[in-house]
Structure 1
Amino acid sequence: MKFHMEKTEAFLRLSSVFLLVLTAILVGVDHQTKFVFFIRRKASFDDVNALLVLVYVDAVVAGYNLLRLFGECSMSAGFIKESRKESNVKMAWISLLLDQVAVYVAFGANSAAFQASLLAITGVPDFQWMKLCDKYTRFCFQIGGALSCGYLACLLMIFISFISAFNLFRLYSPNKLFLLKSISG
């Protein structure tokens, strides 16, 4: 069962790396130029700070998952020797916490970019912010596709966190966890 769990975790990590890199590339190269009232206007991802942050966050989280993937592969191949159980418990806790941080940061960046994109779609007449997606439709569709990939990557990383939690809590025995002593004597 452990081998299947490792293969599943590796597949999920590789898939999330692919989706995060795809999100960063789709947002990073997205731009569209239009002529508005004889003026050339360009819509780009760096016009909106949330999209700029999304590119950086997704690149960092993809790098983290790639490092973890190579670390797990080197441990399963025997390049890194497993030591005492206490260090395994500590590494499992660190693994779970880092996986949780990666999920929350990626989800927060995607949600902030989604909120900023929603303002570009609807506009805010009270602040005289016009709808940008009426003029830059290709730009908005590409951002929408990138955000979909980002949310799918977050969903995959949630499953990775479930696996990390399982790997952590399987190291604890029920007797040690509840401080129970055997009643045989």
Structure 2
Amino acid sequence: MEFSIQKAEAFLRLCAILLLVLTACLVGFDSQTKVIFYVEKKASFKDLRALIGLVYITSLAAAYNLVQLSCYSFSTRCKGSSLQSYKYLAWLRYVLDQAAVYVVFAGNFAAFEHSLLVVTGEENFQWMKWCNKYTRFCFQIGGSLLCGFVASLIMVFIASISAFNLFRLFSPKKFLLLKAT
């Protein structure tokens, strides 16, 4: 059973890496140029700060998952050596997986919120609607946000697997003894 959980976690990490890289590439390479009143204007991800942050966040999360995927053989060798050192490693993986999920989800949601302002515009701030003029740009950003949210969902499953791997190291008998005293 443990080997199948490891294979599932490795597969999920690989899927998350692919989706995070796809998100970063779709956002990072997205730009559209239009001629408006004889002036050439360009819409790019650099115009929206939340999208710049999303590129950095998804790139770092993909790198983190790649490092976790490559360190998998180290953690399985470490398990046989000392249970206490493996507990520390399991705690570290659990905390880092949780942090990665929260940061990726927050980055995606901030980019979604900023993109929603671009779609609807805001008359009070005199922000115009971009998606009337730059439709391909907006559709590509929308697709990248969808990929980012799917990657976030996959990372939630990865975090739950790391939580399972952590908390199965603790014996229920120890918890019963602590509860009785």
TM-score range (shorter-chain normalised) is over 0.9
**Secondary structure at 1:32 match in 2:** strand
Q: Please give the TM-score of this superposition, normalised by the length of structure 1.
A: 0.93
Match of 2:151 in 1: 153
Of the candidates 127, 138, 149, which is equivalent to residue 129 of structure 1? 127
Quote the sequence identity (%).
56
Alignment of 1:10-159 (within 5 A): 10-76=10-76, 78=77, 82-159=80-157
Measure how far apart 1:158 and its partner are: 0.1
Q: For residues 154 and 122 of structure 1, what CA distance do their matches in structure 2 show?
A: 25
Higher helix share: 2
* Alpha-carbon distance change, 75 to 96 in structure 1, aligned in 2, over 3 angstroms: closer
Count how many residue pairs are aligned between Structure 1 and Structure 2: 180
| TM-score under structure 2 length normalisation | 0.95
Q: CA deviation at 1:128?
A: 1.2
Render the CA deviation track for 1:120-144: whole Å, top value 9, x for unaligned.
Answer: 1000012111100000000000000
Aligned-pair CA distance for 1:74: 4.3
Distance 1:69 1:177 in 2: 32
Unpaired stretches in structure 1, ≥5 consecutive residues: none
Q: Distance in 1 between matches of 2:75 and 2:95?
A: 19
Structure 1 residue 169, shift from structure 2 partner: 0.7
- Taking a change above 3 Å as real, the CA distance of residues 158 and 112 of structure 1, as seen in their structure-2 partners, is same
Unaligned runs of 5+ in 2: none
Paired residue secondary structure (2:33)? strand
Is the 2:79–2:86 contact (alpha carbons within 8 Å) kept by the matching residues of 1? no
- Give the letter for the 1:35 counterpart: V
Q: CA deviation at 1:179?
A: 2.2
- CA RMSD after TM alignment: 1.6
After superposition, the C-alpha distances for 1:121-180 in whole angstroms (9 at most, x for unaligned) are: 000012111100000000000000000000000000000011001001110001112326
